[in-house]
Chains A and B, each alone.
Chain A
Amino acid sequence: MKRVGLFVCHCGLNIARTVDIKDIVEKTSKRSDIVFAADHKYLCSEPGQALIKDSIRQHKLDAIVVAACSPAMHEATFKTIAQLSGLNKYNCEIANIREQSSWVHDDPQKATEKAHIIVSEAIEKVKLNEPLQPITVPVTRKVLIIGGGIAGIRASLDVANAGYQVYLVEKSGSIGGRMAQLSETFPTLDCAICILGPLMVEVYRHPNIKLLRLSQVEEVRGYIGNFKVKVRQEPEYVDVAKCNACGECAKVCPADVPNEFDFGLTWRKAIYTPFAQAVPPAYVLDAKNCLGLLPQACGECKKACDQLGTACMNLDAWPQTHELEVGAIIVATGYELYDATKLTEYGYGTCPDVMTSIEFERMLSASGPTLGEIRRPSDGRVPREIVFIQCAGQREPETALPYCSKICCMYTARHAMMFREKVPEGQAYVFYMDIRAGGKGYEEFVKRCQEERGLLYLRGRVAKVYEENGKLIVKGVDTISGKRVQINADLVVLAVGMIPSAGSKELASTLKASLDANGFFSEAHPKLRPLESPTAGIYLAGAGQAPKDIPETVAQASGAAAKALDLLSSPTLEREPTVAQVLETCSGCGICIPLCPYEALTLNANTNQAEVSEALCEGCGTCVASCPSSSLSLRNLTDQQILAMIEAIVA
């Protein structure tokens, strides 16, 4: 017979305001199965916990019930103090009389009655609890990082430098992500690829980083510390180790494809290098746009390569599946831009001289479609009057994206400033709602752009953009002067919003990680835990979690790496032992096996009974409910316990 103690918390007034604490303590003390009962204003505080510790010692308690707030809040705390006081921590039960009683009821009498019942239930349960031990599992000390942009690159380097193996999986033919597509970065105006390039090379050369390009995560099984991942890699028609990026193959390729790196503003061949500084520095064969590989329709690229002696092509390559075992996964999948054709009033898609900000960025770039010159896409002339529209399709809960993408005010200032530098006789107008320049040096940067380059900032939105006689008529408003404004522009640039990368939804499903209402990967807590997914073992870095700029991305990537390293710092991990167990009455019918969402049940061929992998089991109870002979039981939540709890309720 266990010596059970009850501790009731006032939780300040949170519980005490509605529930009669004294009554609970008094009536419960009279129970024959209760040795000691006490109350305290704040049980989770130091003095509160000291009370528990001292009482356990004084009254030689071997099980306790803490009647307080939700177990989600402090169960871990109270279990720890129980353990420190010499108890098995599974002999500590929480009776939630706050969220389940005082916070949801007004009538004190009824709330107190209900609290009594909740406490009785917990007492009945704890009386039958077994003193379980946590399950220890080994940790695979390797990390999978999904996404090779600046976030993935930074996280990879941090983990690899700490001495652990990293698998960096990148969808496209090269790492670098969006940052590689930028011309400069604000506020320093560093050349983006110049500061990114060395990091990319470091990743490629690092002995602890295995880079898998043209790869996507196909399947994830297992759990924190023990993930088993299947990564599918597109056929490597080009041997990355042998290719020296000479480009002879591309010279003879007959297939022209719009270059996605330049958003269709330039062309590439079916065999191509994503961009000049691509890592790995090897060409990629785009099988979809190649004239044909099965059967081989052309093969000129391979011929050219063989002739040179490099001979690094194999047109009969197959996709590969890599099976990886890792302990932690970092999601760094980044962003893409909102489809501007949806913003019908701005004419994107029908008027060739309306561009998105990232297309303009490519045009600014020295390696871009115009080698850094600003030209109108329609006739190639240099634009004189250029209009930038901020918040395009953003901060619009009714018509487009409801949120703000954070970076557009900054890059628009940079774009307008670069335009005026390259076209001094031109005029730049920026239609804005607010200027959001919160980062370090950002406000000063925007002011500098405005003042030194004479940019015209108009506070208001643009209602319509349409073409007339070769000009773009921009109809907007300047709310500060209260006047309507019409600008006959040569070029219009839309700052459209950041949305999660394509494939995020499918990846979230594969990882069993959650997405928020806007499709970005959810964090465990928006304030205090922004680097972890609620799914254990999965960490988040970069714009895939929410729109952000490069400094924040790098900070978050290093943070996520630190979290992963924390996980890897010990060779073992403890898992909750409140898992399913198979009783000897199991007849091997197999009904439970396919029902387990975690694939923790198997049929043992020798014993012809079900078997639970305790490490995989999450204790959900689905199998227990399904067993027709009640041969499955949940540790510390057995049928016997549940029946005892029900009796406590109806008594």
Chain B
Amino acid sequence: MQSYLYFPGCTLRTVAKDYDASAKACARALGFELKEMQGWLCCGAVLSNVEDNLMTRAGPNRILARAQQESDRLVTLCAGCYNVLKRTDLRAKLASPAQQSINTFNEDSYNGRVDVVHFLEILRDQVGFDAIEKAVKAPLKGVRVGAYYGCLLLRPFEEMKFDDPNRPSILENLLMRLGCTPIDYPARTDCCGSYLSVGSSENSQPMSATIVKSAHSCGARLLTVGCPLCKYNLESSQIPRAKNASAEKFLPVVYFTQLLGLALGLRPEELELDMQQMQAIREAQIPTSEGRDRH
């Protein structure tokens, strides 16, 4: 069975266990394995914009140095970890004096020999969307889902080179293969507020609320993300969902791996989807009169 070296990150081990579990379940269903790397540690969540702040790069370099022992490719799920590790690796590949300092400081030296990829890239390039479409057992008939990319997967574009920073399409392409109806809405790539929700949520809430409103007004009844912080921000910007409230008032947020898993025929428990989320997905299948489809 094909095995890819995997970096979960601390959030996926705790608050975002569902993301980790659903991804692993999907991998199994698609015939490969996400093998956790040895000796991983917290990546630091963000890369410092201050280029001479080398201490913040020590941790991610150590991760990559350890990964290097096991493979030349490292798969991530959390958009934050992906951003940090990929950009750390880019700087390491430049072999600058700064990199020398970091290597001297760390016990394990990292020389840029690992390629950092996102789980979506494995799905697209190694497994192939055609193969995934063939493996779909329970197509998500018409689920009106808005893919939310956020920032860290796409930007800064010269370093991430993951997808078009203004009009990305990788998530919509995947979702269409699963039978969903992905909804295009203008705020797909706007920031959710990120870490501003810690301590000054009055600044981040309006940002997330705008995204939710934009998706909803274009006809989305579900949001899907690839980042635990985005999920938290998008959900907490909305009025908490009462037990029997309709989908008109609350847009639930699920990870794309959970949707993938459902389409592959896995059970909600395996994907750590709760009853409310399952109901929302079902309700999202009901076509609405608003919004535009993305073809």
Contacts and interface: CB of A to CB of B under 8 A. Distances in A.
Interface of A: 344-345, 464, 466-469, 473
B166 interface: yes
Interface of B: 164, 166-167, 186, 217
Contact of B166 (A344, A467, A468): A344
Contacts of B186: 464, 466-468, 473
B217 A345 contact: no
A468 B218 CA distance: 8
A466 B186 CA distance: 6
B248 to A, nearest CB: 17
Contacts of B166: 344-345
B220 to A, nearest CB: 14
5 contacts: A344-B164, A344-B166, A345-B166, A464-B186, A468-B217
A344 B184 CA distance: 14
Contacts of A466: 186
A344 B166 CA distance: 6
Contacts of B217: 468-469
**Chain B interface mostly helix, strand, loop or mixed?**
loop
B257 to A, nearest CB: 28
Nearest to A347: B186
By secondary structure, the A interface counts as: strand
Contacts of B164: 344
Contacts of A467: 186
Nearest to B218: A468
A468 B217 CA distance: 8
- Select the residue from B164, B166, B167, B186 with max chain A CB neighbours within 10 A: B186
Nearest to A344: B166
A488 to B, nearest CB: 14
Given A344-B166, A344-B167, A466-B186, 8 more contacts: A344-B164, A345-B166, A464-B186, A467-B186, A468-B186, A468-B217, A469-B217, A473-B186
Contacts of B167: 344
Nearest to B292: A467
Contacts of A468: 186, 217
A68 B59 CA distance: 63
Nearest to A345: B166
Nearest to A398: B158
Nearest to A475: B186
A500 to B, nearest CB: 26
Contacts of A473: 186
A464 B167 CA distance: 13
Nearest to B190: A464
B253 to A, nearest CB: 22
Nearest to A466: B186
A94 B258 CA distance: 79
Q: Which of A345, A466, A467 has the most CB of B within 10 A?
A: A466
Ordered nearest first, which 3 A-B pairs have the shortest CB separation? A466-B186, A344-B166, A344-B167
Nearest to A464: B186
A471 B167 CA distance: 21
A469 to B, nearest CB: 8
B178 to A, nearest CB: 24
B163 to A, nearest CB: 12
Contacts of A464: 186
Nearest to B164: A344
Nearest to B185: A466
A241 B272 CA distance: 80
Nearest to A467: B186
A464 B164 CA distance: 16
A473 B214 CA distance: 12
A591 B166 CA distance: 56
A397 to B, nearest CB: 14
Contacts of A344: 164, 166-167
A471 to B, nearest CB: 12
A197 B10 CA distance: 74
A467 B218 CA distance: 10
A611 B186 CA distance: 70
Nearest to A469: B217
A345 B190 CA distance: 12
A469 B166 CA distance: 22
B24 to A, nearest CB: 36
B50 to A, nearest CB: 22
B53 to A, nearest CB: 25
A399 to B, nearest CB: 10
A351 to B, nearest CB: 10
A466 B185 CA distance: 9
B169 to A, nearest CB: 12
A467 to B, nearest CB: 8
A467 B164 CA distance: 20
A329 B4 CA distance: 64
A75 to B, nearest CB: 47
A468 B164 CA distance: 23
A473 B218 CA distance: 14
A422 B63 CA distance: 66
Nearest to A468: B217
A536 to B, nearest CB: 43
A344 B163 CA distance: 14
A53 B173 CA distance: 81
Contacts of A345: 166
A592 to B, nearest CB: 49
B132 to A, nearest CB: 27
B219 to A, nearest CB: 12
A345 B186 CA distance: 10
A463 to B, nearest CB: 11
Nearest to A343: B166
B186 to A, nearest CB: 4
B85 to A, nearest CB: 26
A467 B166 CA distance: 16
A192 B12 CA distance: 66
A466 B187 CA distance: 10
A220 to B, nearest CB: 41
A285 to B, nearest CB: 36
B185 to A, nearest CB: 9
